[in-house]
Amino acid sequence: MAGMTDRGRDLLPPEDATSWDEFQERYAIERGRYQVTGRSWKDTARIAGSVVPGLAAVVFWVAFALTGAGVRWLLLVLALLCTLLFAWALGGVLRRRWRAGRRGRQLDRLRDEWHARAERGELPRTSPDGPKVWRNQIPNEVPEGRHPGG
């Protein structure tokens, strides 16, 4: 899961939980990350930055439609360039939001599936060692034949 770190700590995916309580803790943290109400400053800057090429594209397209053959090709190139810049700037923001929405829906489906499994008794309510939510909570195992630190 790329991007699922909290100040250098890797969040373990909810799908890999070993108990209902562990799943719920992982789910709550990951779901909270996708339910941020405001935009990041980067998204706000990209949206604001997309206004200039967007407006320029409109101006160039109108000028392209109204002018004669002399400067028409230059206006077409400028209109296409501004349109591409607008789509790139705004598309990045929309793509991130779409991915976050898709992951949020996926997490909600997982929660419902795991809840049903817990109700049927297919998985333990708690883990014997307590819930493991962050990667650094899992002990490092040294493969056979290798010594720690070497």
Q: What is the pLDDT of residues 64-120, one digit of tens each?
A: 999 877 788 899 999 999 999 999 888 877 887 788 888 888 888 988 888 888 888
Task: Map residue 10 onto helix, strand or coil.
Answer: strand
Q: What's the mean per-residue pLDDT of the chain?
A: 76
Q: Is the pLDDT of residue 1 over 50?
A: no
Confidence class for position 13, pLDDT limits 50, 70, 90: confident
Cα-based distances in Å from 103 to 10, 18, 48, 56: 17, 21, 26, 35
Contact call for residues 99 and 29 (beta carbons, < 8 A): no
Confidence class for position 9, pLDDT limits 50, 70, 90: low
Q: Is the pLDDT of residue 55 over 70?
A: yes
Residues in CB range of 31: below 8 A, 6 or more apart: 104, 107, 108
Q: Is the pLDDT of residue 31 over 60?
A: yes
Extended strands (E) in 5-139: 5-6, 9-10
Q: Is the pLDDT of residue 124 over 80?
A: no
Dihedral-angle region of residue 40 (phi above 0 means left; psi in -120 to 50 means alpha; beta otherwise): beta
What pLDDT is recorded for position 15?
80
What pLDDT is recorded for position 82?
93
Please state, as a whole number, how many other Cβ atoms lie within 10 Å of the Cβ of residue 133: 22
Distance CA 29, CA 14 (A): 10
What pLDDT is recorded for position 150?
46
